[in-house]
Amino acid sequence: MNWIELKALYNLYLNHEVKLNVTLSNSGEINYLINSLKVLDKSHDKIFSLDRFCKIYEDNYFKKYSLYEKFLSENELLKPYTRFEESDIKILMNIKSLREDGSLDELREQIINSNESVRGVSLMFFKNEKYLDDRSSLVNALKKILDVSEFSNEKDQQYIYKLECHHPVAIVLCENLDYLTKPNKPRQNGIELWYAGGKNVSKLVYAQTRDLPIYYSCDWDYDGLFIIYPLVEEKIPGIKLLTPNGQPKGIEDTEHKSKWLNNERNIDLLLDNEQKMILEDLIKNDQWIIEESNNLMSMLSSNFKEKLF
């Protein structure tokens, strides 16, 4: 759902009718409430609430609408033309929370100092480098939440984000940004965290590992294993893939976009026997493992051949 749909449902709860528009006509959520639950009805130009709608709304929508409305209002993002997707609002709220507790301070400084591009920032927070294209309102909201005046117009992210530590003993290159927002335990154990930006790995040809062992952490899905990891390994020969310990999730259940396809690359050469077994089970069960669901320090402990901490 987007904000227009969320606001319309609130108005139906409050005033029992809203004016019909294209967004509401095409809304899967509203059509579900009309056709399946039969708690809404519509005429040629209006939608009306029926018996039981108030209870359905209070149970399923009121709490999150109030939460989103408070957040958007407090951050001066509530405009007449606001139409953020619900997922966008959740991401903005998470970024705001990370900013407030200081988890994004170093990354924010690097974003500013590297003159990061809109697509680079999009890839960081939305897992899709083109997601912010033609979404100027969302770009402006990100600037406000991150307190960054401008993003570069360059399309490619060229900067490797690094959270360094005293006396490093190893490096972990992360496919996604999540671990870099939680650096305390890795730093305490001498683990330096890198983020290059998903598929945007061409810059890794210039990476200097300083003879430290380097490991790769990623989503265990088709893109992470069959596309990104081989590209990373080409740029940093000898990088070792961390074996996941997170709980597998159903690809269809999570509406995940990276689906298992025919093996176009000989990934077996890059996996050990345990990893091959995990991959076979994931493909057979149509599942994937989300990178941030893993316990990073446990992955490192079980993957290190030598004791580093």
Note the pLDDT tens digit of each residue in 253-297: 988 889 998 765 667 778 999 999 999 999 999 999 999 999 999
pLDDT computed for residue 202 by the predictor: 86
pLDDT computed for residue 80 by the predictor: 81
Mean pLDDT of all residues in 232-258: 93
Long-range contacts of range 78-81, CB-CB < 8 Å, 24 or more positions apart? 79/137, 81/137
**pTM (two decimals):** 0.82
Domain ranges of the chain: 3-74, 86-146, 161-303
pLDDT computed for residue 142 by the predictor: 95
Supply the mean pLDDT for the chain: 91
Mean pLDDT of all residues in 28-35: 96
- CA distance linking residue 268 with residue 249, whole number of Å: 22
Whether 113 shows a pLDDT value over 80: the answer reads yes
Q: Are 158 and 203 in contact (CB under 8 A)?
A: yes
Whether 18 shows a pLDDT value over 90: the answer reads yes
Mean pLDDT of all residues in 196-202: 83
Measured between alpha carbons, how far apart are the two ends of the chain, in Å? 46
